[in-house]
């Protein structure tokens, strides 16, 4: 039995690619199986703060990341008349956290991270059809009929994870699946996202700024909101968000998902074309400056599953928790999952089923409480920045006008105190004043420390 597990990763998204980058550093053999022929790097703006940037610094990737990023001082929210409703101001946060909060185009982050994975370790057009696992190993069968074997299967294949669905079907037959995990994801918002091509700096002076300005507009009397953020390259990352009011509407939207195509996107673009953009002009002008093949229509969904692993299979990223992007934690959670799971794999004593199950239990014990708290925070943030109902408007008014900034900052500092790092790379020390949670010590290392302490005591006891 080898001491290095063979890891099969389903999905070449952010969490799967980050896990691959980390496994490279500890020489764990792995292969990524991606169902698409290519992964199209769609999306709008994304951001990282001090909770995630130390990982990139550990990997020696921070300088390259900063080349296509801009620091930001938070988010501003306006109504349609361009009157500011409130803001989350993070100016001066670098001195407290040790890092700027940065924004960048999602497509650039993905292309950058994928370039760090050897191309021969990513198998495209590899859709997983079935899974079998026992005490000897795990096997996947692909759509082309081929089978592949390993010690660990990681479901990093997104919100509609085939790995999760296969695993849950097996557990449900055995009566081991909680009822809550049988419920579907709920789509609370419909969203069109994209990043424009280069814009004229004279027409859009914001794109010349060395600071990224994330600005959202909430239109009174409607269920529409839209946002813009300048990113390097004289470009604007933008998003259009339509709130779904009822569960019935959510189910109807989900039913029509398979029918969506360019026509569906075009219809939503037309609804927002004449809305003013905070950066100047109208949203239609920015849409027209965006390559059509980079505009995508997506659901903003939410769901926190309770079953994250069973036997030799484990879930990470959107496969086990889907948060609304309002909290800014979606991508960071995917990165954190990969880091913690890589640590747990690194701490395994061997590739026995018992060691694997202990590693997975350790992974969930570290991550679930954190993600659970962020899940609730995500729902609250969505109400503040997307919400249109009267109680959501009231909540936004109260937060921005009655809640002291010191209270808002305290919550932000609490979130930033969690910053997991790779336990097999030099640790990045805290350069800020915000206290940081200490590194997690795995059960195996705790046992090793206890055993070593006992051995030392035994050798020093007089005869």
What pLDDT shows up at residue 173?
A: 96
Domain ranges of the chain: 7-69+103-184+302-443, 186-301
CATH architecture of the domain with range 186-301: 2-Layer Sandwich (3.30)
Query: Top-level CATH class of 7-69+103-184+302-443?
Result: alpha beta
Supply φ then ψ for residue 303, to 5 degrees.
Answer: -175, 135
Dihedral angle sign, alpha carbons of residues 341, 342, 347, 350: positive
Which of 55, 388, 89 has its CA nearest to residue 215?
A: 89
pLDDT for residue 459 = 43
Instruction: Give the residue among 49, 315, 263 at the shortest CA–CA distance from 156.
Output: 315
How do the pLDDT tens digits run along the chain, 463 residues long?
Answer: 468 999 999 999 999 999 999 999 999 999 999 999 887 767 889 999 999 999 999 999 999 999 999 999 989 999 999 999 999 888 888 999 999 999 999 989 999 999 999 999 999 999 999 999 999 999 999 999 999 999 999 999 998 999 999 999 999 999 999 999 999 887 778 899 999 999 999 999 999 999 999 999 999 888 999 999 999 999 999 999 998 865 445 455 544 443 334 556 888 999 999 999 999 999 999 999 999 988 988 888 889 999 999 999 999 999 999 887 765 677 899 999 999 999 999 999 999 999 999 999 999 999 999 999 988 888 888 888 888 888 888 888 898 888 888 888 888 888 889 999 999 999 999 999 999 998 887 766 666 666 666 655 444 433 3
Check residue 220 and give its pLDDT.
Answer: 83
Question: 7-69+103-184+302-443 and 186-301 share one CATH topology?
Answer: no
How much is the pLDDT for 328?
60
- For residue 260, what pLDDT is reported? 39
Whole-prediction pTM = 0.92
Cβ-in-10-Å burial (0-12, 13-18, 19+) of 154 comes to buried
Contacts 24+ apart (CB under 8 A), 169-172: 170/131, 170/310, 171/307, 171/310
């Amino acid at each position: 039995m080898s001491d290095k597990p063979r890891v099969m990763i389903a999905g070449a998204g952010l969490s799967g690619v980050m896990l691959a980058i980390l496994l490279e550093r500890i020489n764990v053999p792995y292969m990524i199986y991606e169902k698409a022929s290519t992964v199209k790097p769609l999306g709008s703006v994304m951001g990282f703060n001090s909770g995630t940037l130390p990982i990139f610094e550990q990997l020696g990737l921070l300088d390259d990341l900063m080349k296509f990023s801009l620091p930001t001082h938070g988010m501003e929210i306006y109504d349609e008349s361009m009157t500011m409703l409130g803001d989350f101001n993070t100016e001066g946060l670098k001195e407290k956290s040790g890092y700027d909060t940065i924004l960048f185009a999602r497509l650039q982050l993905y292309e950058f991270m994928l370039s760090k994975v050897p191309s021969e370790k990513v198998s495209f057009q590899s859709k997983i059809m079935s899974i079998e696992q026992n005490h000897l190993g795990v096997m996947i069968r692909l759509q082309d009929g081929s089978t592949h074997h390993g010690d660990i299967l990681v479901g990093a294949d997104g919100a509609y994870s085939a790995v999760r669905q296969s695993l849950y079907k097996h557990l449900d037959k055995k009566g081991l699946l909680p009822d809550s995990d049988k419920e579907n994801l709920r789509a609370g918002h419909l969203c069109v996202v994209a990043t424009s091509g280069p814009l004229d700096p004279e027409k859009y002076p914001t794109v010349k700024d060395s600071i990224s300005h994330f600005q959202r507009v909430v239109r009174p009397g409607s269920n529409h909101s839209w946002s813009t953020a300048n990113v390097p390259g004289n470009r604007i990352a933008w998003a259009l968000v339509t709130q779904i009011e009822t569960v019935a509407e959510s189910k109807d939207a989900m039913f029509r998902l398979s029918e969506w195509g360019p026509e569906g996107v075009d219809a939503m673009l037309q609804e927002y074309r004449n809305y003013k953009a905070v950066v100047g002009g109208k949203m239609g002008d920015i849409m027209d400056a965006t390559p059509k093949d980079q505009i995508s229509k997506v659901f903003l969904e939410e769901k926190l599953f309770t079953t994250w692993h069973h036997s030799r299979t484990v879930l990470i990223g959107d496969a086990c928790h889907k948060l609304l992007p309002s909290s800014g934690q979606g991508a960071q959670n995917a990165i954190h999952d990969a880091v913690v799971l890589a640590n747990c794999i690194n701490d395994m004593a061997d590739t026995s089923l018992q060691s694997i199950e202990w590693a997975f239990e350790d992974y969930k014990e570290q991550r679930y409480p954190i993600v659970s708290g962020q899940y609730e925070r995500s729902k609250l943030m969505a109400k503040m920045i997307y919400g249109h109902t009267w109680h959501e408007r009231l909540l936004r008014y109260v937060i921005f006008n009655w809640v002291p900034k010191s209270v808002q900052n305290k919550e932000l500092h609490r979130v930033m105190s969690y910053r997991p790092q790779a336990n097999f790379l030099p640790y990045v020390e805290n350069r800020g004043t915000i206290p940081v949670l200490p590194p997690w010590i795995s059960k195996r290392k705790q046992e090793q420390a206890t055993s070593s302490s006992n051995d030392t005591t035994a050798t020093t006891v007089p005869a």
